[in-house]
Amino acid sequence: MNFGGVDRSDQIRHGVKQPRNPWSDSPAYITQCPIEPGSNFTYEVIFSTEEGTLWWHAHSDWTQAYVHGAIVILPAIGITYPFPKPDDEDIIILGMLIFLNFSIPLNVKTKNKNKRANKLSLVFCME
């Protein structure tokens, strides 16, 4: 991950079991320090039995809304799909704009737990 943002970040992967490798799968300051802007960090993800399309997203403050992606895991060589092989594949990543203005200070979000943080908010604040 090459993080060029202005805030610190981290990421979490959904659907990937990480036995004996839990150190990079948590919000900042729980199992690791956040990734500093402009720095690099290599996540070690150990895939074992996973197949299909999994997703990952940042887990810090506002970055959870716009730093995300897909991890596509094809069947191992010589192993067939559990369904007829697709003719074509496309990745579609759906996201939700949480705020129209991402510069809204974090303290607005935390002061108004479970309330709309401002009139521009499209959804309730996530915690």
Hey, what CATH class is 1-90 in? mainly beta
Closest CA to 36 of 5, 69, 68, 67: 5
Is the pTM for the entire model greater than 0.75? no
Q: Shortest CA distance to 14 belongs to which of 50, 40, 63?
A: 50
Q: Quick one: pLDDT at residue 124? A: 42
pLDDT digits (tens, 9 = 90+) for 33-54: 777 788 887 777 777 777 788 8
Sequence ranges of the domains in the chain = 1-90, 96-127
pLDDT of residue 3: 43
pLDDT tens, residue by residue, 79-122: 887 778 788 888 887 766 555 555 554 445 445 454 544 444 44
